[in-house]
Amino acid sequence: MGNVEGFLSRCAEAREAIVRMREPLVVHHYDCDGITSGSIVAGSLEKMGKPYRAQSVRKLDDGFLASIAHEPEIIFVDLGSGTAGIDSLAGNVVAIDHHQQKSSSRLQANPHAFGFDGGTDVSAAGCAYFVFREFVELGVVGAIGDIQAPLRSLNALMLDDAVRQKAVAVEKDILLFGRNSRPLKQFLLYADEPYLPGITGQDDACDALLRELGIEQRQKGATGAEGGSAALRQKSAEQGEAGSEKWRTYSDLSFDERRALVSSLAKLVAMRSSQEAASRLVGDTYNLLRMPQGTLLRDASEFSTLLNACGRNSRPELGVSVCLQRAGAYVEAQSLLAEHRRNLRAGMDFASKNTQDIGKFLLLDARGAIPDSIIGVVAGMLYAGSRKKPILALSLEAPGKIKLSTRGTRALVEAGLNLGKILSECCAQVGGAGGGHNIAAGATIPEEKLNDFLKEFAARL
């Protein structure tokens, strides 16, 4: 473990510097971790009664830095540390970030300076939590959004606080996505981590399994109107169902029904895939106890998916409104999520048919097929499981400009892989901008340099 005391006192220092600001500009990243960390900063400034402006960006390039060069006070969140360009800004700058550091002269609440790994030990949301000690559940959502579960190190420290404050309850439960949000059949039908052999993607088999276990898919006698939080409740959005009977979700099942379903799925996965895959079926889930019941916001993983949908569909500010529970934001975000899922499904379909093993790594060339805003997510989803090589995915960011996204596994990182460092080095060779974490990184390069880049990349693996 790194130097906890050192990190925490740096966070306190960052807080003091922010308290002294008059009307800062908050610049945060647009993904789940960027939205949650940005929300912790924005919400904390609101609690202090301090005026601020907030802006989210996909990346900090020279053009953007030039556009904020006149700002007297800037707080960078989930970005900044990785950009040496922030050193030359004239204003008062604080960065709350967990990316590998390139900036040297600015005040940074960054775990890398204290022997921690920002890829696995803490995300920007965790850093923001340690700076302000507010909105601890958003810190957990950010960590889950940045795929840092199981939570350890600084994340575990934050989780202890969350449990003590009764903001979060950790429960061993099934890890399939959609416990609170997907009707049972979709819950099984779209299961991909772990994949359920004979069930995933097979409509009839899902029905048969539920019938066999005596689990009803619809709530008998339930009506559409449920009063109170009814507007917040997801009404089988994925099916477009508007009937008066409600589709049951996993979280609607009785204890006995859940136990029967989980044990039959575990048996099936153990038998048809592996014991190892079966062990990934159940694990720690994070219930957010202060969030409205019956919504996606009750579960850290579903919450993070909702925020990613906002970010990837160019509505990160809506994600911030959801985090800070502003009126109307949740319902609007849900419809974005439905659209996001359609895009991801189409992207996954393309990726599963077009990923090649080219020796030292897997290559997914999705130029013109998958938008650059979701290429990283698709690469990550495709990559879930126990791969032996990193994956490199390509998409078109603009004419002549390629966005690259690369993912590794914890095992590869433990064996010495550092994708963030490799991408920085490759970009230095071919003229691009890139970096990130040891386990996941991204870059933008000129399209005509692609072959040079691929050679440089392969040479460093």
Binding-site member from 124, 189, 369, 443 for Mn ion (CB under 5 A): 124
Please identify which residue in 73, 78, 137, 317 interacts with Mn ion, judged by CB under 5 A: 78
**Judged by CB under 5 A, which stretch of 124-132, 237-245, 400-408, 448-456 contacts Mn ion?**
124-132
Distance CA 249, CA 294 (A): 10
State the minimum distance, in angstroms, from the CB of residue 98 to Mn ion: 6
Q: Rule CB under 5 A: which of 19-38 touch Mn ion?
A: 33
Distance in angstroms (rounded) separating the CA atoms of residues 444 and 265: 42
The distance of closest approach from Cβ of residue 221 to Mn ion in the complex, given in angstroms and rounded to an integer, is 45
Helix (H, G, I), strand (E, B) or coil at 355: strand
Question: Strand locations in 24-69, DSSP E?
Answer: 25-29, 53-57
In 190-315, alpha helices (H): 203-212, 255-272, 275-279, 300-312
Nearer to Mn ion, 124 or 300 (CB): 124
Q: Pick the closest to residue 110 from 87, 133, 130, 88 (CA basis).
A: 130
Report in angstroms how near the CB of residue 56 gets to Mn ion at its nearest: 13
Which stretch in 75-83, 178-186, 244-252, 389-397 sits in contact with Mn ion by CB under 5 A?
75-83
Q: How many degrees, rounded to 5, is the angle at CA 142 between CA 184 and CA 350? A: 55
* Closer Cβ to Mn ion, 15 or 99, answer by number: 99
146 or 456: CB nearest Mn ion: 146
Distance CA 210, CA 199 (A): 11
What is the C-alpha separation between 396 and 356, in angstroms, rounded?
18
The count of residues interacting with Mn ion (CB under 5 A) is 5
- Pattern 318-357, binding to Mn ion, x per CB under 5 A? ----------------------------------------
The distance of closest approach from Cβ of residue 186 to Mn ion in the complex, given in angstroms and rounded to an integer, is 29
Q: Which is nearer to Mn ion, 178 or 316 (CB)?
A: 316
- Stretches 19-27, 74-82, 284-292, 426-434: which one binds Mn ion (CB under 5 A)? 74-82
Alpha-carbon distance of 185 to 205, in angstroms, equals: 10
**Alpha carbons 56 and 367: distance in angstroms, whole number:** 25
> Can you give the binding site for Mn ion, defined by CB under 5 A?
33, 78, 123-124, 146
